[in-house]
């Protein structure tokens, strides 16, 4: 049966069926909620950052994982990428309107979590 349940696309005005494996919205959710996707979106919420600034702001992420995560988020139109033609090239990243819209509830979630945790011992 061609065009089975798992490959259905959203019709005009209808929602995506995120419980099916071939749903485009599911891919975006997977990228946002990946191990590093959340941290990239939160790191970019206030400022546009260059690649190395972004890497330094997220402790524990390798350059390879940051590059892969950014590539997926740019493809999903959550993050924009600007390359300055210098030697070496300087690449800056920032949130698109869609990325800000998705990042806002993530920021709120982390704010709620940190408010409920016990104070950090000094």
Q: What is the spatial distance between Cα 12 and Cα 18, in angstroms, rounded to a whole number?
A: 16
Ramachandran region of residue 60, left (φ > 0), alpha (ψ -120 to 50) or beta? left
Q: What is the spatial distance between Cα 20 and Cα 81, in angstroms, rounded to a whole number?
A: 30
Q: Which two tokens stand for residue 94?
A: 């920032």
Q: What is the pLDDT of residues 39-72, one digit of tens each?
A: 999 999 999 999 999 999 999 999 999 999 999 9
* DSSP-assigned letters across all residues of 84-111: E-SSS-EEEEEE-HHHHHHHHHHHHHHH
Torsion sign over Cα 44, 16, 35, 52: negative
**pLDDT recorded at residue 11:** 54
Q: What is the spatial distance between Cα 42 and Cα 57, in angstroms, rounded to a whole number?
A: 10
- In this predicted structure, the answer to whether residue 79 has a pLDDT above a threshold of 90 is yes
Alpha-carbon distance values, 64 to 51, 55, 68, 71, 107 (Å)? 11, 10, 6, 11, 25
- In this predicted structure, the answer to whether residue 5 has a pLDDT above a threshold of 50 is no
Give the list of residues 6+ apart from residue 105 with CB closer than 8 angstroms, or none.
Answer: none
């Amino acid at each position: 049966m061609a065009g089975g349940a798992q490959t259905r696309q959203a019709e005009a005005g209808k929602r995506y069926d995120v419980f099916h494996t071939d749903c485009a919205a599911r891919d975006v959710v997977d990228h946002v909620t990946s191990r590093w996707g959340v941290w990239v979106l939160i790191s970019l919420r206030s400022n546009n950052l260059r690649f190395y600034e972004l890497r330094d702001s997220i402790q524990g992420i390798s350059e390879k994982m940051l590059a892969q995560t950014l590539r997926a988020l740019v493809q999903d139109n959550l993050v924009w990428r600007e390359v300055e033609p210098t030697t070496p090239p300087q690449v800056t990243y920032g949130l698109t309107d869609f990325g800000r819209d998705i990042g806002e509830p993530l920021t709120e979630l982390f704010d709620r979590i940190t408010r409920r945790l016990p104070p950090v011992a000094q």
